[in-house]
Structure 1
Amino acid sequence: MQQVKVNRHRQNIQDDGEETVESTPVYKKKRVLIPLFIFLVLIAAGVYWYMGQQGYISTDDAYIDGNRATLSSKMLGRIDSLAADEGDTVKADEKLVILDASDLRAQENSAAATINNAEESITLSKVNLERAKDDFQRAKSQFQSSIIPKEQYDHAARALEAAQAEYNIAVSRVGTAKAQLGIIKTNLQNGVIVSPMNGVISKRWVLAGDVVQPGQPIYTIYDTKNIWITAQLEETKVSSIKPGDYVEIDVDAYPDQKFNGKVFQIGANTASQFSLIPPNNASGNFTKVTQRVPVKISIDGRTKDSRNPVGKLSLLPGMSVEVRIKEGGVK
């Protein structure tokens, strides 16, 4: 009985060994095939990507751009009120900034009073001038008739000259006062700053009560009805594109959305020409760097409001994008 159990145990061990020997090649085969399959898939994906890139020029050095205007004051003044804040939609010629005009109003009143006084002086000096003319004509006639001596004639002539000078001064004062009043009125008009275009306030630089200098920014306004993409392309690639070429656009803010467009302008200068410190190669210290040329690209598929181009998506100036320009025209 014990011998039978030993034999059965040996038989089980032998069977297990045979199964292990038979399963080992299959396991090794799977270990080889799976990585090979993954490798082939990666190769196929790489080839597909490479073929898809042929005929395209791509760059991620691109952003959404648009017309913008910076509102500033033409004169020194304290801001009395601001009519809009960041994000507000404004219309062309809408009043946005009002400067304190109390000093200008006082100057306007003073200039008006000066004009009135000067005009009264003109009236009085004109009367004196007419009297001096009559006196001179009488003295001249009497002198020619030897009725009065030459001294009286000379005195009448000098009186006429003085009256004429007084009248001219009065007229000049009126002209000066009116010119001053005109400047004051112009400053009063400049104290009301309006929007130069339809758009959206993207930046408010000051607060009510601040004193602004001439040329100091107050608002920055973007025209959201007219946006495009500015792509900085290497100078070695610009010769392969032309206006009208088809463009595929990916906006970082909307990774699941696809946009299309067309090249409509290729820059006439490299971007470095407009940098704060343009390159100066005349010094002899020269390092050659591939320059970038700005290329403007339109965005297709927009609604009337460019802030909601496809559906309710907002394309805002400054957003990062990636573009793929089809060489040779339309896709």
Structure 2
Amino acid sequence: MLDDRQPTPPDGARAHASFDAAQASRERDILDVGVGNAVEARRAEARRAPDGGAPAEDGTDADPDDRPDGDEEAKRPGLIRRHPLWLGLGALAVIALAVAGYFYWLVGLHPYESTDDAFVDARQFTVAPKVSGYVVDVPVTDNQHVETGQTLFQIDRRDYDVALAQAEAQIASAKASIQNVDAQIEAQKAQIDVAKAQVTQTQAALDFAKADAARYKDLATRGAGTVQQSQQSTSNLEQQQASLQRAQASVIAAQKQISSLEAQKASAEASLAMAQAQAAQAELNLGYTTVTAAQPGRIVQLSGATGQFAQAGQTLATFVPDEKWVTANYKETQIADMRPGQHAYIEIDAYPNRRISGRVASVQPGSGTAFSLLPAQNATGNYVKVVQRIPVKIVVDNWPDDVSIGPGMSIVPTVRVR
């Protein structure tokens, strides 16, 4: 420690010189103390600074004199503090370039075509019976989903049961008629055999009559026999000839009767075929009394009710099949790169949180107005060109099962064309 007491100056020049020497020594001591304090302060600041010097290997701090610019570097602010505005502008430029690159990749390299002129489409049809009668049962209700073969309406079938029974009775009668004709044909064949036997018998009698007539004629010529016997034998010969002709005619008549019986059999067989056709129709009509679903789908606009008399062809309900797709009416300027098989994203207005995937099935070869009920006629003097709409069919991979989606609902499809 330095003595802060001031020395008393002596008298005379010696005293003055001694006083000056003491004063100079005191100033050197003060300067040394100040330098030491400054060095200690620098070392403490170097230890507190984040980029301060590392301690020496012997455990002591490095001499700040070895780093003449350490204090200035420690006191200098960082790059962010020196240029905050430029760094912010650079970050914004990088973000802008990234966003621009993303949109270029999304739109420039992989363009999409979208339209809000689209809707769910299906081949819905009306449900109507093929036969008339009273509706006795309606086992379905509005908007119900049904499977293939499920009963939709039941019409009173008693009248059609009776018609089927009558047709079956006519079949039995026609079969009996055929059997009767077959029996008559067999009997007639037997009559033919009898007639042929009579011909044979008559032929034998005729041969005998010829011989007998020749013998008696010879006897009468020689005078050994009588004229009466000769005449009698000649008469017998003529009778046997007539009998032979009659027997031969009987055979021909019997054979012709066979042809008549075969014609009757053909008529009976035709009656049988007609009766069988009537029975088949009656059986079909009986089956038509049960109206069933031809494919899976939903019943909408149900109008048939129990006790109602339904005419053949009368609409009782509307059927919407499960097979649905999207009909998107794109502008003709949007379909240049659109091809079947391209992927599509589908958004449903009724369910905005549902995102459905699909693919392009086909592009209609012509505008929508060309196939409308009243197609446009542009052969006029005041023609104005209008961008046409081209229907594009988009099939969906999987429709949601937990929501109701049907024809006419608005759709926003987006097709990736490249």
TM category (shorter chain) comes to 0.5 to 0.7
Native 8 Å contact 1:129 1:167 kept in 2: no
How do 1:139-178 and structure 2 match up within 5 A? 139-143=195-199, 145-146=202-203, 147-148=243-244, 149=246, 150-178=248-276
- Given candidates 58, 73, 79, the residue that maps to 2:114 is 58
Conserved? CA contact 1:206–1:218, under 8 Å:
yes
Structure 1 pair 288/153, CA: closer, same or farther in 2 (3 Å)?
Answer: farther
Unaligned runs of 5+ in 1: 1-47
Distance 2:302 2:385 in 1: 40
1:264 pairs with 2:360? yes
Cα distance in 1 between the residues matched to 2:266 and 2:406: 63
SS at match of 1:92: coil
- Cα–Cα, structure 1 residues 136 and 286, in superposed 2: closer, same or farther, change >3 Å? farther
1:123 to 179, 182, 202: 179
What letter is aligned with 1:86?
D
Equivalent pairs counted in the alignment come to 270
Structure 2 residue ranges without an equivalent (≥5): 1-99, 204-242
Aligned partner of 2:330 in structure 1 is 233
Distance change (3 Å), C-alpha of 1:131 and 1:268: same
Aligned to 2:401: 307
Task: Give the 3-state SS of the residue equivalent to 1:186 in structure 2.
Answer: helix
Number of the residue aligned with 1:185: 283
Q: CA deviation at 1:230?
A: 1.9
Aligned to 2:92: none
Contact 2:120 2:406 in 1 (8 A): yes
1:86 shift after superposition: 1.6
Work out which of the residue numbers 152, 158, 166 in structure 2 matches 1:96: 152
Q: Cα 1:274–1:76, aligned 2, differ >3 Å: closer, same or farther? A: farther
Tell me if structure 2 keeps the 8 A contact 1:204–1:220: yes
Cα–Cα, structure 1 residues 161 and 267, in superposed 2: closer, same or farther, change >3 Å? same
Q: Secondary structure at the match of 2:316?
A: strand
Of structures 1 and 2, the larger Rg is shown by 2
Instruction: Determine which structure has the larger strand proportion and give its number.
Output: 1
- What code does the residue aligned with 2:186 have? E
Which residue of the other structure, out of 307, 313, 319, is the alignment partner of 2:409? 319
State the 1:58 CA deviation. 2.9
Q: Deviations over 1:122-146 (max 9, x none)?
A: 2222222111111123213423544
Shift of 1:115: 1.9
Question: Are 2:181 and 1:83 equivalent residues in the alignment?
Answer: no
> Partner residue of 2:83?
none
Distance 1:248 1:129 in 2: 80
- Residues 98 and 136 of structure 1: CA distance in aligned 2, closer, same or farther (over 3 Å): same
Note if contact 1:244-1:262 (Cα within 8 Å) is conserved in structure 2.
Answer: no
Q: Is the alpha carbon distance of 1:77 and 1:267 closer, same or farther for their aligned partners in structure 2, counting shifts above 3 Å?
A: farther
Q: Partners of 2:395 and 2:133 in 1: how far apart? A: 41
**Matching residue's letter, 1:306:** P
SS of match in other structure, 1:239: coil
SS at match of 1:237: coil
Q: Secondary structure at the match of 1:236?
A: coil
Deviation larger for 271-280 or 111-120: 271-280
Which of 209, 212, 220 is residue 318 of structure 2 equivalent to?
220
- Compare the two structures and name the one with the higher helix fraction: 2
Question: Quick one: distance in 1 between partners of 2:273 and 2:347?
Answer: 65
Checking the alignment, whether the CA contact within 8 Å between 1:57 and 1:327 is kept in structure 2 is: yes
Q: TM (normalized to structure 1)?
A: 0.67
Tell me, yes or no, if the aligned pair for 1:85 and 1:204 is still in contact at 8 Å. yes
Q: Equivalents in 1 of 2:151, 2:319: separation in Å?
A: 13
Aligned mates of 2:189, 2:147 — CA distance in 1: 62
Question: Scaled by the length of structure 2, what TM-score is found?
Answer: 0.55
Alpha-carbon distance change, 193 to 280 in structure 1, aligned in 2, over 3 angstroms: farther
Query: 2 CA distance for matches of 1:276 and 1:261?
Result: 32
Partner of 2:95: none
CA 323–121 in structure 1, closer or farther in 2 if over 3 Å, else same: closer
Q: Give the alignment partner of residue 167 of structure 2, picking from 111, 121, 126.
A: 111
Amino acid corresponding to residue 266 of structure 1 in structure 2: S
Q: Provide the rounded CA distance (Å) in 1 between the counterparts of 2:383 and 2:264.
A: 72
**Equivalent residue letter for 1:265:** A
